[in-house]
Amino acid sequence: MLYDTLIRNALVIDGSNRPGYTADVAILDGRIARIGDLQDVSASEEIDAAGRVLAPGFIDVHTHDDTVVIRQPQMLPKLSQGVTTVIVGNCGISAAPVSLRGDPPDPMNLLGSAAAFVYPRFRDYRAAVEAANTTLNVAALVGHTALRSNHLDDLFRTATDAEISAMREQLRESLEAGALGLSTGLAYASAFSASTDEVMQLTEELKAFGAVYTTHLRSEFEPVLEAMDEAFRIGRHAQSPVIISHLKCAGAGNWGRSPQLLASLEVAAKTHPVGCDCYPYAASSSTLDLKQVTDAHRITITWSTPHPEMGGRDLMDIATEWNLSLLDAAKRLQPAGAVYYGMDENDVRRILAHPLSMVGSDGLPEDPFPHPRLWGAFPRVLGHFSRDVGLFPLHTAVHKMTGLSAARFGLKERGEIREGHWADLVLFDPATVRDVADFNDPQRAAQGIDGVWINGVLSYRDGQANGQTAGRFLARQGDLRDGFR
């Protein structure tokens, strides 16, 4: 038999959290056909991978790539770091189902202008992804704030029974069309007024589908433990798995509390399926939130609608130049985006190393001057945190970005290198892989990524995308509770 691709002599780190082994891997018709000593086998293309690691393609569980996967389907920031699947619709904001009455409310504007929101039903979004011939695989959550914007005339109150009923109907239709579950962004002003009961009633739709509840907590600052308790209450009520988005100790007054947060996560996990994702940086990025304006740490402006020339500059410098207070300068810049240097490195490391945490970039592709996580999150885990710092072995780093993520989100036959699985693969040099993007020059491709295959198609090689578009829309499969057992 002639295989499509044969990758020889690779150190296979298979995504299962077991140490690697040397083997050849044969690909046929988009799937991993054989693994082992394949000296007597031939293929249309053969690659000698001696000295390289072959891993499952990385799964970015926390993205805001909802509309970019359609408008810019080459997805170079993700492809270049070995990402083969993105999960969109996080933090309560999704491209669908959405019917805007004007400009998208904050923070839905992170996904683009009103022109980007043209999917009134989830199935419309799914069809658009399938028609876009995207490079990457795409799976999607439904955003709570998106549902609120469809049905509430005022986002600064909790929903009425009639509005909750209408939101539930849209959520149910979306789950029937393959959505993974519901996400919330309760910290944002457009969802903060939603009562716990409003969210609980919505999540009642998840149980019948075995769907997941993910949440950007109501607070990541001092009340973070109370916010975690709320998330677990909602999950238990829904009998649905809970994933806490970008778990962190935000704000200087919160530094050093990661052991408390992780203990809370562990206690909840004893009786209910829970987990978290995190990104490997001690700075966050979102829209410019007046409640987060402080002189306790640095804040960099990533974009500003009235003052685009201020992108990439520190808020402190802008305020000094304008002879204004930090708060007044922030008000003048709005609407805007910002990077907040508001975390402690030791907290980041503890959360990243925890067995319940997955890796997600939380990158913002619409930012003209983005946080470097958009281009660098996954190689940073491999190079900086695993190889250089020694936070965990390489096979654990890979597991946090592949097998664990696929299990949590029910991405069947992905996330591990096994015969019969889809051939989403990344080949990298363990000695040189590293993130090059930084806060001064954030749009730079990683080093050490030699090849990326998506559904068996080589789509990135030696630092160059080749225009192949083998990505697919990944509808929810099975009961996502199973992946937490």
Query: Which contiguous run of DSSP H or E holds residue 459?
Result: strand 457-461
CA distances to 241, 248, 276, 434 from 227, in Å: 16, 12, 14, 34
As beta bridge partners, residue 142 has: 182
b/e 134-151 (16+ beta carbons within 10 angstroms → b)? bbbbbbbbbbbbbbbbbb
Q: What is the pairing mode between strands 336-340 and 299-304? A: antiparallel
Q: What is the pairing mode between strands 274-278 and 242-244? A: parallel
Residue pair 248/281 in contact (Cβ under 8 Å)? The answer is no
Q: What is the DSSP string of 258-304?
A: HHHHHHHHHHHHTTS-EEEEE-SSS-EEEE--GGG--SSS-EEEEEE
Taking the C-alpha atoms of residue 401 and residue 392, their distance in angstroms, rounded to an integer, is 13
Q: Which of 354, 342, 372, 225 is nearest to 277 (CA)?
A: 354
pLDDT digits 0-9 by tens, 58-104: 999 999 999 999 999 999 999 999 999 999 999 999 999 999 999 99
Instruction: Retrieve residue 373's tokens.
Output: 């996580």
Work out the average pLDDT over 203-224.
Answer: 98
- In this predicted structure, the answer to whether residue 45 has a pLDDT above a threshold of 90 is yes
Taking the C-alpha atoms of residue 100 and residue 114, their distance in angstroms, rounded to an integer, is 7
As beta bridge partners, residue 427 has: 54, 451
Question: In 3-state terms, the chain is what percent helix, strand and coil (to 5)?
Answer: 35, 20, 45
Neighbours of 385 (CB within 10 A): 20
Q: Contacts from 460-463 at CB under 8 Å and sequence distance 24+?
A: 460/79, 460/80, 463/80
Taking the C-alpha atoms of residue 334 and residue 341, their distance in angstroms, rounded to an integer, is 19
Share of the chain above pLDDT 90, in %: 100
Handedness of CA 308, 309, 315, 319 (dihedral sign): negative
pLDDT bracket for residue 213 (50, 70, 90): very high
What local confidence, expressed as pLDDT, does residue 109 receive? 94
pLDDT digits 0-9 by tens, 353-404: 999 999 999 999 999 999 999 999 999 999 999 999 999 999 999 999 999 9
Q: What is the DSSP string of 197-249?
A: HHHHHHHTTTGGGT-EEEEE-S-SSTTHHHHHHHHHHHHHHHT--EEETT---
Instruction: Retrieve residue 236's tokens.
Output: 């238990």
Mean of the per-residue pLDDT values of the chain: 97
pLDDT digits 0-9 by tens, 264-303: 999 999 999 999 999 999 999 999 999 999 999 999 999 9
Q: What is the pairing mode between strands 53-56 and 425-428? A: antiparallel
Handedness of CA 85, 287, 171, 237 (dihedral sign): positive
Share of the chain above pLDDT 70, in %: 100
pLDDT bracket for residue 485 (50, 70, 90): confident
pLDDT digits 0-9 by tens, 330-365: 999 999 999 999 999 999 999 999 999 999 999 999
Q: Which of 239, 242, 222 is nearest to 230 (CA)?
A: 242
192: phi > 0 → left, psi -120 to 50 → alpha, else beta; which?
alpha
Query: Quick check: helix, strand or coil at residue 461?
Result: strand
SS (H, E, C) 335-385: CEEEEECCCCHHHHHHHHHCCCEEECCCCCCCCCCCCCHHHHHHHHHHHHH
Q: Which of 283, 107, 262, 285 is nearest to 185 (CA)?
A: 107
